Amino acid sequence: MPTPFTYINAAMSIDGKISTRQRCQVRISGDVDFERMDELRASSDAVMVGIGTVLADDPSLTVKSDEKRAKRLAKGLDENPVRIVVDSKARIPTDADILRKGAGKIIIAVSESAAFDRVESLRKKAMVIMTGGDQVDLPELLSVLDEMGIKSLMVEGGAGLNWGLVKNGLVEEIYSFIGNLIIGGSNAPTLIDGDGFDEADMPTCSLISAEKMEDGVLLKWKLKNS
């Protein structure tokens, strides 16, 4: 089944954490990396996060630069890419920023385990796509997105969603900005959490580029199995 070109973009500490043990939003990127992230948003068909990130960070996932939004409009696109939340049980608060801020399509990807009334109330604010039994079926979801014309998909985390996508072989590239911080903590989320791979199954990557950026480094990887 065809799926969009899917890539993860994230910022992590020297020790691979993407947040603290309190799971609150941490500014790891500097201005240059946030600008790069905004350009990626502006140039992607869709941006995706997991419900854990929505509950922790309450992001809007909008393109921040007026100029970049104007360029999208000039090309006949919506100001923002399609914004997608992977949320099996439809837990997203109805006043979440992503549902209130910015123009453009919003998709909430739920599973059959979502309560009917929650799904019906979300349908007033967003398009709902249902796949999977207990949890969202990510391969099926990405196939549906591809059929809808979404050909490039930027994944902005968090740790659990990143795992689900990589485990299913759905990620082609990973871009990680490593900032000059040490966060530590065995309960702080890393770039990829979940159950983890056994040694025999670990995906390997080839390095696309390594670039010094402000006080950190931007690494771009291509997954070999994709």
Ligand X SMILES: Nc1nc(O)c(N)c(N[C@@H]2O[C@H](COP(=O)(O)O)[C@@H](O)[C@H]2O)n1
The binding site for ligand NDP (CB under 6 A) comprises 10-11, 18-19, 23, 25, 28, 49-53, 56-57, 86-89, 91, 135-136, 138, 156-161, 164, 189, 193
Task: Report the residue number, 92 or 150, with the smaller CB distance to ligand NDP.
Answer: 92
**β-strand partners of 6:** 153
CA–CA separation, 28 and 17 (whole Å): 10
Q: How far is the CB of 152 from ligand X (least distance, A)?
A: 17
**Residue 104 interacts with which of ligand X, ligand NDP, none, CB < 5 to 8 Å by class:** none
Residues lying near ligand X in the complex (CB under 6 A) are found at 11, 25-29, 33, 37, 49, 53, 57, 59-62, 156-157
SS3 sequence of 127-192: EEEECCCCCCCHHHHHHHHHHCCCCEEEECCCHHHHHHHHHCCCCCEEEEEECCCCCCCCCCCECC
**Residue 61 interacts with which of ligand X, ligand NDP, none, CB < 5 to 8 Å by class:** ligand X
Q: How far is the CB of 25 from ligand NDP (least distance, A)?
A: 5
